[in-house]
Chain A
């Protein structure tokens, strides 16, 4: 069911928010023991909020498309009166106020069902959490959902909630979206407030949305976008109506696909599906052409240095007790502690240089199209993936095509564009110029309406 279908069902009195929320709780109770997507559930609060939405609707109060709709948030977002852990054993506090985006969701009438599992401290891509257990991929329970917002993607992918919030510092919304067959959207840096969200690397951190389709993603984005003086990076750039229009042609839209780097070392199924989506965009009227982009390997290296240094600084106070960290997170924190300050400053200097170089791309095209991840979801515990030209580290592989857009702060959207021969989802990534979210979402909707997507999960959901 989509948000649009839910709104129609509410309007026709075929369904109430109370019934929808009750069935959502039952579904979570049935599936979560296997999926391990939820860390905390608020059954009573959820039912109360759903009942309130029903009462409001009867009184002709319309809060928009999220009114009475079940959603959830990664356990990196504060909710007043609820513990925030960041999927870790070093952070655990009772939040005295909610994150700005949680307040926005609730003001839009959304029913926040609970908090979602994640990679420890948002610092990794597997969501194989050493403290709260591995999140499972709803398409294949032996595979990772991606991360760090793995619980968010798994919950949306398994149809437990309509949408979820995640954070994206180096691909942490788009990677799990790609692996779990859902839409993942990271807006422009500064577009959505990070107030009340656990930081990892403040100059790379973004709040993002995961949802079942692009229209639903746009509805959630529209509810959370605003200037917030409590986040020093928050932008006053004007907010437009992000609701995609129906039946819009792609005629005149300039789409580029960067052959170099983004189409190298791909799983053949991924390459075939993404090239198919690009061809479809052309058939729908877009002006599609290959395009040159600046050195992405350099941008990725800059991003890695910034990430290591900022995360080590952010989390330094906790590193005294090494026994309370997972091995992978500890190694990254150690790497960050070793980096000289000169490297961090130079990384930020290179970042500005590369940002200026990259801006030239937008004179040639309006959007870029490329794979989100070079592969489909790896197996839980798998550390290396075999390619024709050698083995690839799972983490480096997953972040390879997405990290640059955190460094550049550009809006980027991952949407499903097919299934591999093993029946696993493949992600298509769309990228636009700063603050061009409306163009990106409109393109995504046009592609979805034009047949780009995946069928629902066919296999019966196992329980443990």
Chain B
């Protein structure tokens, strides 16, 4: 189910103080990526692990 997001409302919610033309630019960018990205994300199985993972040692690679 791909529900259209209201990016203008989201931008206001997050306190993005962009004005009319700036806001249009922000919304256009987000809408473009959302059209491709969200259907893919919604199809992921719960077992799919992320590419960035936590390690128990702060030094990184063992």
Chains A and B bind each other? yes
Kindly state the interface size class of chain A when it binds its partner: 35 or more
Interfacial chain B residues near A346, Cβ < 8 Å: 41, 44
Cβ contact within 8 Å between A351 and B16: no
Contact of B41 among A300, A334, A347 (CB under 8 A): A347
A301-B61 contact in complex given A203-B51, A352-B51, C-beta closer than 8 Å: no
Residues facing A in B43-57 (CB within 8 A) are: 44, 48-52
B20 within 8 A of A: no
* Cα distance, A227 to B11, chains bound together (Å): 41
Q: Is the CB of A330 within 8 A of B22?
A: yes
Known: A232-B59, A234-B61, A304-B33. A345 touches B50 (CB 8 A): yes
Question: When the two chains form the complex, which single residue of A229, A298, A302, A337 contacts B59, counting CB atoms closer than 8 Å?
Answer: A229
Residues of B within 8 A of A (CB-CB), count:
29
- Chain A interface helix/strand/loop/mixed: helix
Complex interface bits, A281-312 against B, C-beta within 8 A gives 1, otherwise 0: 00000000000000001101110110010000
The residue in chain B whose Cβ has the minimal distance to the Cβ of A351 is: B51
Q: Decide if A339 touches B30 in the complex (CB within 8 Å).
A: yes
| CA–CA, A233 and B33, complex, Å | 27
What residues of chain B lie closer than 8 Å to A308, measured between beta carbons? 33
Say yes or no for A2: interface residue by CB 8 A criterion: no
Q: Across the interface, do B25 and A331 meet the contact criterion of CB distance under 8 Å?
A: yes
* 12 further interface pairs, Cβ-Cβ under 8 Å (given A300-B36, A301-B40, A335-B26): A233-B60, A297-B36, A298-B40, A301-B36, A327-B22, A330-B18, A334-B26, A335-B29, A349-B49, A350-B41, A352-B48, A353-B44
> Could you tell me which A residues sit within 8 Å of B by CB distance?
190, 203, 229, 231-236, 297-298, 300-302, 304-305, 308, 322, 327, 330-332, 334-335, 337-339, 343, 345-353, 355
